Amino acid sequence: MAKQKTLLVYYSRTGTTRAVADAISAALPCDAEEIVDTKNRLGILGYLRSGFDAFFERPSALKPTRYNPADYDLVIVGTPVWNASLSAPVRTYLTMQKGKPKKVAFFCTYGGSGSRRVLGQMAEACGMKPLDVLDVREGEVKRGEHWPRVRDFVASLIGRVQAAA
Ligand SMILES: Cc1cc2nc3c(=O)[nH]c(=O)nc-3n(C[C@H](O)[C@H](O)[C@H](O)COP(=O)(O)O)c2cc1C
């Protein structure tokens, strides 16, 4: 995996998905990029807007991203679950970058339900089957219990990328 290039891309509204992304990048050398949405998603109105946008698959307006997924052997994408649906910023990113990644893996963070549906929606949005997926509950992250599963996820990805090389 030393020669494999990995890009980690994620969106986080309140920091939970960012914490999992930080744990992944601590275990795996990679370029990391946070998706920045221009829509205000803070407060109660932002919360409601986010749930609506995710459920109705409305695109968002993102700030330009720095890295090109086509330049990497593996692209890992992370999202929070919104209304049992893929978050609007990550749906927009995956749709915009469709056809560029060589291999993908996905992770999501969530309160308690909808993670499997969202991981399926990520595959649909980018038109690719992931090498592996990880879903982490917000509570696990708050208690600092996410590290072992993150390390297993990274180890699995390293094995799968090497097997496919
Ligand atoms: C608009 C909205 C809708 C949500 N809907 C769900 C849901 O359907 N199921 C769930 O388990 N968690 C849901 N959550 C909780 C988030 O998925 C969870 O807090 C996540 O870890 C937040 O990640 P972040 O801090 O990176 O933004 C929702 C959060 C928001 C803001």
Question: What per-residue confidence (pLDDT) applies to 165?
Answer: 74
Query: Whose C-alpha lies nearest to ligand 1, atom 3?
Result: 82
Ligand 1 mean position, distance from CA 98 (Å): 24
Query: Is the per-residue pLDDT at 80 higher than 80?
Result: yes
Distance (Å) from CA 80 to ligand 1 centroid: 6
144-162 exposure pattern, b = at least 16 Cβ within 10 A, e = fewer:
eebeebbeebbeebbebbe
Cα of 137 from ligand 1 centre, angstroms: 10
Evaluate if residue 45 carries a pLDDT over 80.
Answer: yes
Average pLDDT for residues 44-72, to the nearest whole number? 97
Q: Which atom of ligand 1 is nearest to the CA of 41?
A: 31
Give the CA angle between residues 33, 125, 47 to the nearest 5°.
65
